[in-house]
Structure 1
Amino acid sequence: MSLTSLSSLFAQKSWANNELFSALAEVDAQAHPQVVHMATRMLNHIYVVDRIFRAHLLGEPHGYSATNTEATPELGALQFEVAETDGWYEAYVAQLSEAQLAERIHFRFTDGDGGTMSREEMLTHIVVHGFYHRGNVGQMLKSIEVAPPRDLYTKFLHLREPERRG
């Protein structure tokens, strides 16, 4: 995948995360406590995995023993942390070279098993993982008759560059 494509996908990830957090914030948590809790847990899982792979990319310890935390964060605080991490990924991809993208990195999964992936594979995993689980949250919202945001790459591209619609 090209650096241009990765950059665009990470910008879309930031946009889609913000859209989904905004939609979830509008849900009446007292009327739908289980759905809000489960959706927040799922969004926290995405965040934790993003942070784990950020540490792998930097060659630093991540401090997580699982792919989610025991405590469920407050939605607004999580949205802030996710936005900060999304910004980091956008900046990170913007400064990479093709050679760095191909570099293979050895790391440990939270279960202790070792793994090796290229930077490109790690970054692709982060994008795909987020798409998958945002879709899970979208289904949770549908279960309480709330229309989830349309998390579409095509929509993002045309909002960002409206001249593409011509």
Structure 2
Amino acid sequence: MSTLSLLRTLFNYRAWANAELLKKMENFDIDLHAQDREAALRLVNHTYVVDKIFAAHLMGTGHEFTTDNTADTPPLRDLRAALTASDEWYQNFLETVTPEQLSESVSFVFTDGDRGCMSREEMLTHLIIHSGYHRGEVGRILSRLSLSLPWDTFAVYLHQAEPSRRLAA
């Protein structure tokens, strides 16, 4: 499997995992779990903002963000729409980027003013790891409240996306 093919699969997995998590976040009781719900929304919004920042880095353009989150927390409905659009943007990007472009290093500035330089492949890998880390944090909040957890594993995704894998075993 090529790096590009693996990245495509990982971003398809990420979109699936994000959708599963957002669906489970509907189980927060707005009154009973207000603080935990807000914390979970802030974590997911943070991943969305970082996605937008790195999309700009990947394209070599500027972005509007001065921090890695927004002052106001969007409602779940709006966050779902924004994150879904972001996931689709990355899936589309991976359909057009070339292996040569993936290996190119791109210089940029982090929101704290520090300079950075990463290949596009490294940036994309960072985003996969970053979003998984924060989905796990939200999962810990759900678990602590005894709310149902999403299936957020790459193996489950692969077998749901390609049921024939079960027959190969």
* Same fold (TM > 0.5): yes
In the alignment, does 2:56 pair up with 1:52?
no
Aligned residues: 166
SS of the residue corresponding to residue 127 of structure 1 reads: helix
**Bigger Cα displacement from structure 2, 23-32 vs 153-162:** 23-32
SS of the residue corresponding to residue 117 of structure 2 reads: strand
* Partner residue, 1:104: 105
Any gaps of 5 or more consecutive residues in structure 1?
none
Deviation at residue 28 of structure 1 after TM alignment: 1.4
1:26-70 alpha-carbon deviations (Å, 9 max, x no partner): 221111101110000000000000000000011111110100111
* Partner residue, 2:33: 32
Alignment-mate amino acid for residue 66 of structure 2: S
Q: TM-score, normalised by structure 1?
A: 0.98
* Partner residue, 1:120: 121
Deviation at residue 117 of structure 1 after TM alignment: 0.2
* Partner residue, 1:135: 136
In the alignment, does 2:10 pair up with 1:9?
yes
Runs of 4+ in 1 over 3 A off after TM superposition: none
Deviation at residue 110 of structure 1 after TM alignment: 0.2
Q: TM-score, normalised by structure 2?
A: 0.96
SS of the residue corresponding to residue 146 of structure 1 reads: coil
Distance (Å, rounded) in 2 between the aligned partners of 1:16 and 1:46: 13
Deviation at residue 94 of structure 1 after TM alignment: 1.4
Kept in 1, the 8 Å contact 2:66–2:112? The answer is: yes
**What is the aligned-residue identity percentage?**
43
SS of the residue corresponding to residue 64 of structure 2 reads: coil
* Partner residue, 2:89: 88
Distance (Å, rounded) in 1 between the aligned partners of 2:19 and 2:30: 18
Alignment-mate amino acid for residue 5 of structure 2: T
Any gaps of 5 or more consecutive residues in structure 2?
none
Distance (Å, rounded) in 1 between the aligned partners of 2:90 and 2:75: 23
Alignment-mate amino acid for residue 104 of structure 2: E
Deviation at residue 24 of structure 1 after TM alignment: 0.2
Aligned CA-pair RMSD: 0.8
Deviation at residue 147 of structure 1 after TM alignment: 2.4
1:128-148 alpha-carbon deviations (Å, 9 max, x no partner): 100000000000001110121
Kept in 1, the 8 Å contact 2:27–2:147? The answer is: no
Kept in 1, the 8 Å contact 2:22–2:80? The answer is: yes
